[in-house]
Structure 1
Amino acid sequence: MALTFYTNPMSRGRIARWMLEEVGAPYETVVLDYATTMKGEAYRSINPMGKVPAIVHDGHVLTEGAAICAYLADAFPEAGLAPPLSERADYYRWLFFAAGPVEHAVTNKSLGVTPTDDQQRMAGYGHFDLTVDVLEKAASANPYIAGESFSAADVYAGSQVAWGVMFGSLPKRAAFEDYLGRILSRPAYKRAGEIDDALIAQAGAAG
């Protein structure tokens, strides 16, 4: 089955890269530039939003980081990155909590948007501090976000925590640091980072 990965190494594509390295399936990488190819007609036929990441697997298009992680876990079950169906409640819960409330809370905070008390009833994340507290409890309740075993939910939620702590969009808390210590030591994470960092260096050398 053909698997093509569309990305930019300085983007959320790094999440999908990590997931691809975890499943271990061969894939082709297409690197897109923000100002040109990412907004071009050819790529917009794949993702009309003109955003990365995206994958095309055997002719099927997937966009959105959390969806890509969940899909790849199911498409390559031998990697063991999704729990059995009977044990997926926490897996789905925290994967999509990271993609929904956490993403929205962090984005709004970075834009200087603070919902009023009335607006908090409409916002799915309520308010930033509440979202961070819930994320902290999820990251510390078990060794991994969905229980005792590493899963695709850790790729996505863990990436959100790692970026947030690194760039200051999430507070540095002991629970986050402990959680990151468990997941960022994985060979697939290191391998994915090396690939993307090399692409960044190549782009810099090329001007």
Structure 2
Amino acid sequence: MKLYHCKGARSLRPLWTLEEMGLDYELETMPFPPRFLREGYTDINPVGTVPYFVDGETEMTESAGIAQYLVDVYGPTDLALTPGDREYGAWLNWIHRSDATLTFPQTIVLRYTQLEPEERRLKQAADDYTQWFFARLRTVEAALDGHDYLCADRFTVADICVGFSLYLADTLGFKGGFKPNTAAYYERLCARPAFQRSIEL
């Protein structure tokens, strides 16, 4: 299997999952954005986004989906819950919420504060989506009340997926806005050796 990756990008989710599981994989770390800076990338992945993942005939582009695929296909692993688990629905919800609800508003902030040329930057959009992110982050704070992790009282791929959202928030300078449960949770995630390896690759 091969993962195309950019440092700091959503591809950290499947990379971290691969590292936690100890799977054998090939990694290509590319400059961002790869559709402009990695020659031939759009021939490999016509969408031009990152991550891009290949496992035999399987080709995937969605970071949370790849992470779930890895634990489902290459398990059993404590990183996964199964349909028979009481918190299976919550686990799935966190995996998908991590990108659709928590990462999405931050990408708007990133675009309109850093990636767009100066004349196209939009402070109002960045401010509005910053507030959106923090409003949605309340669900993480509440879920962690009395718990170290989001589901089943153990570290799972849901924590990897949400953990990337917190890592992105940290890189955007939002860490100071984390409430106590979220701040302590993020520190636990950052202390994991597989996370530390992943951010260096």
Identify whether the pair has TM-score above 0.5, normalized to the shorter chain: yes
Deviations along 1:81-121, whole A, 9 cap, x unmatched? 111212211111111111111122323445332799xxxxx
Aligned length: 185
Q: Which residue of 1 aligns with 2:80?
A: 82
Shift of 1:42: 4.1
State how far apart, in whole Å, the 2-side matches of 1:25 and 1:16 are: 11
Q: Which residue of 1 aligns with 2:28?
A: 30
1:90–1:147 contact (8 Å) kept in structure 2: no
Q: Which residue of 1 aligns with 2:125?
A: 113
1:156 aligns with 2:156: no
2:8–2:199 contact (8 Å) kept in structure 1: no
Matches within 5 A, 1:1-207: 3-34=1-32, 42-87=40-85, 88-110=88-110, 111=112, 112-113=124-125, 127-140=132-145, 142-169=147-174, 171-194=177-200, 196=201
2:163–2:189 contact (8 Å) kept in structure 1: yes
Give the partner amino acid of 1:95.
I
Mark the CA change 1:40 to 1:114 in structure 2 (over 3 Å): closer, same or farther: closer
State how far apart, in whole Å, the 2-side matches of 1:17 and 1:78 are: 18
State how far apart, in whole Å, the 1-side matches of 2:37 and 2:47 are: 8
Give the partner amino acid of 1:98.
S
Shift of 1:129: 4.1
State how far apart, in whole Å, the 2-side matches of 1:148 and 1:10 are: 28
Give the partner amino acid of 2:161.
Y
2:109–2:125 contact (8 Å) kept in structure 1: yes
Mark the CA change 1:177 to 1:166 in structure 2 (over 3 Å): closer, same or farther: farther
1:114–1:127 contact (8 Å) kept in structure 2: no
SS at match of 1:78: coil
For structure 2, list consecutive stretches of 5 or more residues without a partner in the other structure.
113-123
State how far apart, in whole Å, the 2-side matches of 1:141 and 1:190 are: 26
User: Which TM-score applies when normalising by structure 2?
Assistant: 0.78
Shift of 1:19: 1.2
1:66–1:156 contact (8 Å) kept in structure 2: yes
User: Which TM-score applies when normalising by structure 1?
Assistant: 0.76
> % of aligned pairs identical?
24
Q: CA RMSD in A?
A: 2.8
1:140–1:179 contact (8 Å) kept in structure 2: no
